[in-house]
């Protein structure tokens, strides 16, 4: 494997210009969050940065006292875990179906992705009206239903990527050695898919944890985290919201880091290490 870029020679300033713009993009994406993290270490009631010597976890300790926050956290964890536990196997099943389809592949893929394109507000509105007619009382169950719809396309794509990387010969070999199709699936396909399934679970959990628009329409009596936070942000209230937002960001980034590390470290026996297929 070469570690050089594709274009190696002289670029007439292109490399410099494009590197600067890339840095600008990363700044726009990360600077506000970094600022929030630093501001959350300010022990004063006022917002703003303080000298590093005065950094303090005052507001983080104050979080521990917040009862309503604990309730929202519990609700979000429940919804997130339930969503991920449903989306991961259903996504895997969709990916397996896709690999075995012939004529209907394109349409099936479009149907899978379709949920990504509908604004959350509208999906939430449609679901809440429908569930109302069905007679389902809003609770963590209705939010989970909405979040399953939201996360399934991502779970399916992550599973598809994993499935496409499995060497067909690994499964053929298992079958030659006398394994039945179910045996080969359990002993070969599933273990090779482990990293992708973990990532699929992690991503679905995080997407659910941070989802606001659908939950807004589907929520019962107990707010989820983003709903609780939105209220706190607009009431201009206590400084704990900075500490809390920061904590959510740090935890999200840590979990997503695990998800990526899983995907990156999945090179193992039986995986297809060839270049990705090109459309010829």
Query: Smallest Cα–Cα separation from 127: which of 209, 204, 210, 211?
Result: 211
Interface residue with other proteins, options 83, 123, 143, 266 (CB under 8 A): 123
Query: Smallest Cα–Cα separation from 211: which of 113, 126, 142, 143?
Result: 143
Nearer to other proteins, 82 or 156 (CB): 156
Q: Which region, judged by CB under 8 A, interacts with other proteins, from 53-61, 67-75, 77-85, 147-155?
A: 147-155
Query: Which structure tokens are listed for 70?
Result: 């604990």
Contact status: 60 vs other proteins (CB under 8 A): no
Contacts (CB under 8 A) with other proteins, residues 63-102: 89-91, 93-94, 96-101
Interface residue with other proteins, options 45, 117, 265, 267 (CB under 8 A): 117
Contact status: 61 vs other proteins (CB under 8 A): no
Nearer to other proteins, 77 or 248 (CB): 248
Q: How many CA atoms lie within 13 A of 54 on its CB side?
A: 9
Interface residue with other proteins, options 72, 73, 79, 157 (CB under 8 A): 157
Binding mask 196-235 for other proteins (x = CB under 8 A): -------x--xx-xx-xx------------x--xx--xx-
Contact status: 194 vs other proteins (CB under 8 A): no
Contact status: 115 vs other proteins (CB under 8 A): yes
Burial 79-117 (b: 16+ CB within 10 A, else e): bbbbbbebbbebbbebbbebeeeeeeeeeebeebeeeee
Give Cα separations from 220 to 55, 99, 138, 142, 217 (angstroms): 38, 39, 4, 8, 9
Q: Under a CB-based contact definition with an 8 Å cutoff, are residues 226 and 210 in contact? A: yes
Interatomic CA distance for residues 224 and 215, integer angstroms:
8
Nearer to other proteins, 68 or 132 (CB): 132
Closest CB 124 distance from other proteins, rounded Å: 10
For 133-174, give the DSSP string: HHTPPPSHHHHHHHHHHHHHHHHHHHHHHHHHTB-HHHHHHH
Give Cα separations from 122 to 115, 116, 126, 146, 220 (angstroms): 11, 12, 6, 11, 18
Interface residue with other proteins, options 57, 70, 122, 237 (CB under 8 A): 122
Q: CB burial class (10 A; 0-12, 13-18, 19+) of residue 133?
A: exposed
Q: Which region, judged by CB under 8 A, interacts with other proteins, from 50-58, 65-73, 77-85, 127-135?
A: 127-135
Closest CB 67 distance from other proteins, rounded Å: 21
The site that binds other proteins (CB under 8 A) totals a number of residues, namely 124
Contacts (CB under 8 A) with other proteins, residues 38-57: 39, 47-49
Contacts (CB under 8 A) with other proteins, residues 244-263: 245, 248-249, 252-253, 255-257, 259-260
């Amino acid at each position: 494997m070469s570690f050089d870029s594709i274009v190696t020679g002289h670029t007439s300033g292109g490399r410099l210009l494009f590197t600067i713009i890339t840095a600008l993009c990363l700044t726009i994406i990360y600077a506000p969050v970094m600022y929030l993290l630093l501001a959350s270490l300010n022990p004063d009631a006022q917002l703003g940065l303080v000298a590093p010597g005065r950094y303090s976890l005052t507001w983080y300790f104050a979080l521990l006292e917040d009862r309503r926050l604990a309730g929202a956290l519990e609700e979000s964890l429940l919804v997130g875990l339930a969503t991920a536990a449903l989306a991961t196997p259903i996504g895997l099943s969709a990916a397996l179906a896709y690999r075995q389809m012939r004529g209907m592949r394109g349409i099936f893929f479009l149907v899978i992705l379709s949920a990504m394109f509908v604004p959350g507000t509208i999906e939430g509105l449609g679901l809440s009206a429908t569930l109302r007619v069905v007679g389902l009382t809003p609770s963590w169950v209705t939010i989970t239903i909405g979040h399953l719809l939201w996360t399934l396309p991502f779970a399916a794509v992550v599973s598809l990527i994993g499935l496409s990387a499995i060497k067909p010969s690994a499964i053929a070999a298992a079958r030659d050695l006398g394994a039945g199709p179910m045996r080969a699936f359990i002993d070969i396909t599933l273990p090779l898919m482990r990293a992708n399934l973990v990532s699929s679970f992690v991503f679905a959990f995080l997407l659910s944890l941070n989802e606001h628009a659908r939950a807004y329409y589907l929520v019962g009596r107990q707010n989820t985290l983003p709903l609780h936070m939105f209220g706190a942000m607009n009431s201009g209230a206590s400084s704990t919201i900075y500490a809390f937002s920061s904590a959510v960001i740090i935890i999200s980034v840590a979990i997503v880091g695990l998800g990526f590390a899983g995907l990156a470290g999945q090179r193992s026996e039986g995986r297809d290490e060839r270049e990705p297929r090109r459309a010829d």
